[in-house]
Amino acid sequence: MSKIDRIFCAGFGGQGVMSMGQLLAYAAMLEEKEVTWCPSYGPEMRGGEANCSVTISDERIGSPLINNDASVGVFMNGAAYNKFIGKVMPGGKVFINSDLIDAENPRTDITYYRIPVNSIATELGKIQLANMVMLGAVNDQAHLVDQDMLLEAFKKVFGAAKEKFIPINKEALAKGAEAAAKMF
Residue type, 155: K
| Helix or strand holding residue 8 (H, E) | strand 4-12
Site for another protein in 97-126 (CB under 8 A): none
With contact defined as beta carbons under 8 Å apart, do 81 and 96 qualify? yes
- Report the alpha-carbon distance of residue 9 to residue 130 in Å, rounded: 13
- Report the alpha-carbon distance of residue 158 to residue 170 in Å, rounded: 14
Count of residues interacting with another protein (CB under 8 A)? 23
Task: Find the binder of another protein among 14, 48, 62, 86 (CB under 8 A).
Answer: 62
- For residue 128, state whether it binds another protein (rule: CB under 8 A): no
- For residue 47, state whether it binds another protein (rule: CB under 8 A): no
- For residue 63, state whether it binds another protein (rule: CB under 8 A): yes
Kindly state the smallest distance separating residue 87's Cβ from another protein, in Å: 12
Q: Rank residues 61 and 166 by Cβ distance to another protein and give the closer one.
A: 61
Residues 6+ apart with CB under 8 A from 148: none
Residues 6+ apart with CB under 8 A from 112: 94, 96, 103, 106
Kindly state the smallest distance separating residue 82's Cβ from another protein, in Å: 21
Kindly state the smallest distance separating residue 126's Cβ from another protein, in Å: 25
- For residue 22, state whether it binds another protein (rule: CB under 8 A): yes
Residues that bind another protein (CB under 8 A): 22, 25-26, 29, 34-39, 41-42, 60-65, 67-69, 156-157
